[in-house]
Amino acid sequence: MVDSSYRPSHEGTLDRDSMTLSRHVLQQLQSFGPEAQDLSALMNRIALAGKIIARRLSRAGLVEAALGFTGEQNVQGEDVKKMDVYANDVFISVFKQSGLVCRLASEEMEKPYYIPENCPLGRYTLLYDPIDGSSNVDINLNVGSIFAIRQQQGSDDAETGEDLLQNGRNQLAAGYILYGPSTVLVYSLGRGVHAFVLDPSLGEFILAQANIQIPPHGPVYSVNEGNFWQWEDSLRDYIRYMHRHEGYTARYSGALVGDFHRILLQGGVFLYPGTVKKPDGKLRLLYESAPLAFLAEQAGGQASTGAQQVLDVEPQALHQRTPLIIGSRENVALVESFIQEEERERAAALR
């Protein structure tokens, strides 16, 4: 006879240790059906890529040819680092034989990478920035990987990935991995935002914080003030307002994932606005801004270009850039109010 009265004495601790990412995905989807299994396996592969990259980063100073530049430039004309290439290849190799993802699109590849043998099975596309904040790599500071999962829409016979040019509300899932003192994976399937910490002794990401909510207001503003004289007046006015009012403090690490993570947990705003020369700023819509915007909205925050919600932007190109103002609801609204004020003044001057 089964003794149902047995209560494990370590129930609480063990439950916590066993809330792995794949189990969490299934629980979120409330299903064990094939689609839920696929998404759970897919997230598990992303986690594997994260573990491989974290391992490489933790030993990068000891490994030959891990640090420094390759001497090449990527499609956006930026100098490529050896870690960028390594991390890009890691994502490809973990998905190659998986049968889960049929296209990968990344900052480091001009066109999507196709895995045709997977296409009849899995029609998901992974969009990713393999190493976000590359300038931090060589000095052992935090970097990240950003990802989004989209479902292929219609046929893609010409292999152009044109169906990826849809707004961010079409993302099925999004998240990032932060390589810091510990490795943290944050993700959302459109059902809240959840953070997992890599337990190196288990080799597993274990749930650390469920249903994260961005505080409606926070003290931090995170922006590269070195660009001050290249911004529009509205942005300069906003920063002057920050300087003149108590209760604000600046934090900027040079890696979006780290700066966003701080704001997700403690509140505030991250900005990468356009400049007079580059009105769309630096950050790429499909694999940087849109995935983080998805997380921000899921956590009760906001993500804006200054003119519209980031998730509403209809992309024109795979590597399109967009201004980004992201974080606590009230902080984002304050930045927007400065932008709108300048627009009103401009319109009045034309009248």
Residues engaged in binding ligand AHM (CB under 6 A)? 78, 107, 129, 132-135, 224, 254-256, 272, 282
The item of ligand AHM, Mg ion, none sharing an interface with residue 103, based on CB under 5 to 8 Å by kind, is none
Furthest CA-CA distance within the chain: 87
Nearest distance, CB of residue 107 and ligand AHM, angstroms: 6
- Taking the least distance from each CB to ligand AHM, the nearer of 115 and 292 is 292
The item of ligand AHM, Mg ion, none sharing an interface with residue 150, based on CB under 5 to 8 Å by kind, is none
Pairing relationship of beta strands 194-199 and 204-209 according to DSSP bridges? antiparallel
Instruction: Enumerate the β-bridge partners of residue 145.
Output: 177
- Taking the least distance from each CB to Mg ion, the nearer of 38 and 132 is 132
Nearest distance, CB of residue 258 and ligand AHM, angstroms: 8
The item of ligand AHM, Mg ion, none sharing an interface with residue 140, based on CB under 5 to 8 Å by kind, is none
Nearest distance, CB of residue 31 and ligand AHM, angstroms: 35
Nearest distance, CB of residue 227 and Mg ion, angstroms: 17
- Using H for helix, E for strand and C for coil, what is the string for 204-270? EEEEEECCCCCCCCCCEEECCHHHHHHCCHHHHHHHHHHHHCCCCEECCCCCHHHHHHHHHHHCEEE
- Taking the least distance from each CB to ligand AHM, the nearer of 96 and 251 is 251
Integer distance in angstroms from the first to the last C-alpha of the chain?
Answer: 87
Residues that bind Mg ion (CB under 5 A): 129, 132
Contact at 8 Å (CB) between 101 and 118?
Answer: yes
The item of Mg ion, ligand AHM, none sharing an interface with residue 156, based on CB under 5 to 8 Å by kind, is none
Nearest distance, CB of residue 273 and Mg ion, angstroms: 16
- Taking the least distance from each CB to ligand AHM, the nearer of 81 and 194 is 81
**Tokens representing 334?**
């304050």
**Tokens representing 158?**
């010409």
Overall residue count recorded for the chain in this entry: 351
The item of Mg ion, ligand AHM, none sharing an interface with residue 254, based on CB under 5 to 8 Å by kind, is ligand AHM
Nearest distance, CB of residue 140 and Mg ion, angstroms: 18
Instruction: Enumerate the β-bridge partners of residue 125.
Output: 103, 150
Q: Determine how many CB atoms are found less than 10 A away from the CB of residue 5.
A: 5
- Taking the least distance from each CB to ligand AHM, the nearer of 115 and 127 is 127
- Taking the least distance from each CB to ligand AHM, the nearer of 38 and 129 is 129
- Taking the least distance from each CB to ligand AHM, the nearer of 25 and 86 is 86
- CA–CA gap between residue 120 and residue 14 (Å, rounded): 39
The item of ligand AHM, Mg ion, none sharing an interface with residue 282, based on CB under 5 to 8 Å by kind, is ligand AHM
- Taking the least distance from each CB to ligand AHM, the nearer of 24 and 261 is 261
Nearest distance, CB of residue 243 and ligand AHM, angstroms: 19
The item of Mg ion, ligand AHM, none sharing an interface with residue 232, based on CB under 5 to 8 Å by kind, is none
Nearest distance, CB of residue 137 and ligand AHM, angstroms: 9
